[in-house]
Amino acid sequence: STLDDVFQKFHSNSPDLKSIASRLEAAKQVYKISSAIRLPSMNLGLTGSSRKQNLTAFGLSEDFFGGGQNGDQNSDGSDVTSFSSRNYGLNLSMQWEIDLWRKVFNQTKASEKDYDAVKYDLSYLTFSMQVQVAKLYFSAVESYEQLKLAEETLESVSELADMVSARYEKGLRSSLDYRLAETSVATSIVSIENSKNVLKSLNRQIEILIGDYPSGSFIKKPSLPSVLPSIPIGMPASVIQRRPDIKSLINKMESAGHRVAQSKRDLLPGVTINGTVGTSTQEIEKIFDEDYGVWNLGMSVTAPIFNGGRLRSIKKIQEANYENSKQDLIRGILKAFSEIEQFLDQNKSLDIQIEALNAAVKQSKDAYELSKERYDKGVTSLESVLNSQRQYN
């Protein structure tokens, strides 16, 4: 239940997860921008201009305009012929590249695969953080158990030290035994404080990940599961199919393939349709009058003739990127299989180690009890008792 609480708070409050969500939203918008090229581009414009032109500078006399009837007179009495005009316009312009060779299609699909790759990368990062949370949790549980063990060790050593101290005061034990016993007590106190510090540090790391104040007191009385689920046969293959990092590599390879196709089609002619519709008038109040409507529709065909080999070099770069992405995928799959096989081997090894440790605990406990009994009877030394006590703990 404590681990469930950790994950619930992690999913609801973690600043890292919220940051990942923001990055995913940014990647989504980048994908929308990249894929917008497949749609027509349309712009609405409103223009207005006022113009006055002096024609005297062009060598035209007033007689040319009928005796200067349209002229303006300067302050020095000379006649100057000038014209003024105003123009207002409202227009809607459109530009659209016809995808004859599926160049735009490949560019859009490449952007889509890039976005999917980012989604899987962030999903893998989220999963990795969940693994980190789980590891920190079990490390904190282990630290808590180590703290309890250190406290039990202090209790055991203190009991032994009391016995040695009582006999030392009666002259039955040497000062060496007394000092060794007191040293063990002091060492056990240091071990307890170290265990407390480690536990608080791990608790603070967990609290930061789940968005709580790092007080260092999150885990107080946890316990390790007594039974772990078994790993079914065929797990490596099924894990590979679900791993988001592998899916990301697949999408990156597919994106590189689409970019190779796009770079090849960049060598072919492109067809673009351009159009404008609107109004043009000298009076702003008539800007919405359809009688003053104007329009323009055209098509342009452009073909690359000479660009210094730039387009062919881009094609070769994209082909190299595609080959590199294939090798990245192969390397990623092999690495994933290696990780899974390694964990399966470790699982078998840990089962053997747990069984051996349980046997060692039983034998070391019996050895410690026997050494205490023999020391009490004066048969063995205190060093032997302390050594058996350290092995037991």
pLDDT at site 172: 75
- Hey, is 375 helix, strand or coil? helix
Q: What is the pLDDT of residue 56?
A: 59
The CA distances from residue 213 to 1, 9, 11, 15, 204, in Å, are: 20, 12, 16, 12, 8
Residue 74: predicted pLDDT: 46
Segment 148-152 long-range contacts (CB within 8 Å, at least 24 positions apart) = 149/393, 150/188, 150/191, 150/192, 150/195, 151/192, 152/393
Sign of the C-alpha dihedral computed for residues 363, 366, 368 and 370 taken in this order: negative
pTM to 2 decimals?
Answer: 0.73
Task: Summarize the chain as % helix, strand, coil (round to 5).
Answer: 65, 15, 20
pLDDT of residue 310: 92
SS (H, E, C) 88-114: EEEEEEEEEEECCCCHHHHHHHHHHHH
CA 308 to chain centre: 39
Between vectors from CA 159 to CA 155 and to CA 160, what angle results, nearest 5°? 120
Q: Identify the pLDDT of residue 211.
A: 87
Element (H, E) at 45: strand 41-54
pLDDT of residue 67: 46
- The pLDDT profile of the chain, 393 residues, written as one tens digit per residue, is 778 888 888 888 888 888 888 988 988 898 898 888 888 999 999 999 888 877 655 555 555 545 444 444 444 445 667 778 889 899 999 999 888 889 889 999 999 999 999 999 999 988 898 999 989 998 998 899 889 989 988 988 888 888 888 888 878 778 888 888 889 899 999 999 999 999 999 999 998 988 888 988 877 776 776 776 676 666 667 778 889 999 999 999 999 999 999 999 999 999 999 999 999 998 888 888 888 899 999 999 999 998 889 999 999 999 999 999 999 999 999 999 898 888 888 888 888 898 898 898 888 888 888 888 887 777 778 888 888 888 877
pLDDT of residue 63: 53
